Chain A
Amino acid sequence: DGGITQSPKYLFRKEGQNVTLSCEQNLNHDAMYWYRQDPGQGLRLIYYSQIVNDFQKGDIAEGYSVSREKKESFPLTVTSAQKNPTAFYLCASSPGGASTGELFFGEGSRLTVL
């Protein structure tokens, strides 16, 4: 089935460690997004990518990094510079370009810093 796969679903990290969250899609979508969700704050955009080898900072990019080497993959690295990384992370994709279509979401990854 077509969709977006995020892994791992749950992740624990010690302070000072980098961690990478995986996001893979088989929908042939050009655009991919990473959002962070915290209680009472909704979804905040971390990074987005419209095409391969190109990505843009969102509203809260500090302490995060991404790559887009393949159309299907958009991994997010949470670095030790991120002051408060404990959150629920959501990856999404859409057809991109001039599309007015909706976003398709993965099931999320919950990161807890111990």
Chain B
Amino acid sequence: AQSVAQPEDQVNVAEGNPLTVKCTYSVSGNPYLFWYVQYPNRGLQFLLKYITGDNLVKGSYGFEAEFNKSQTSFHLKKPSALVSDSALYFCAVRGWNSGGYQKVTFGIGTKLQVIP
């Protein structure tokens, strides 16, 4: 069964400092990995994805993520955090079940708090 782990419930970072939100995954076959952001009482917004190719993926709002196959990780990063980045971040993996149906599994989310 596929799974996603986000080991930190909350990450605190000072404004202007680099940030990292961690994600590890487990899936059969090639991993298709995603990061989403959620603001309070809103739906999720897509940030970036890794399908194939370069291990460093760039996305929206200056975010990027590094795919590491040997460590089965897909950590989200940003060189300089903004207060407006404070939100809930979800890592997700897309796979296929035994019936050939696509399935997307999410982590439990990591709350990012950027301190002014």
A residues apposed to B, CB below 8 Å = 4, 6, 31, 33, 35, 40-43, 45, 48, 50, 56, 58, 88, 90, 92, 94, 96, 99-108, 110
Task: Flag whether B116 is at the interface (Cβ < 8 A).
Answer: no
**Interface of B: prevailing SS:** strand
Which of B9, B34, B99, B104 is packed against the most chain A CB atoms within 10 Å?
Answer: B104
Q: Which residues of B contact A101 (CB under 8 A)?
A: 49
21 examples of A-B residue contacts, CB within 8 angstroms: A33-B104, A41-B108, A42-B108, A43-B90, A43-B106, A45-B103, A48-B101, A56-B97, A58-B103, A90-B43, A99-B102, A101-B49, A102-B34, A103-B46, A103-B92, A103-B104, A105-B43, A106-B43, A108-B41, A108-B42, A108-B43
Closest to A90 in B: B43
B80 touches A (CB below 8 Å)? no
B34 surroundings in chain A (CB, below 8 A): 102-103
In the bound assembly, the distance between CA atoms of A101 and B9 in angstroms comes to 27
Which range contains the number of B residues in contact with the other chain? Answer: 20 to 34
Q: Which residue of B lies closest to A110 (CB)?
A: B41
Q: Which of B31-76 contact A (CB under 8 A)?
A: 32, 34, 36, 41-46, 49, 51
Residue of B nearest to A31 (CB): B102
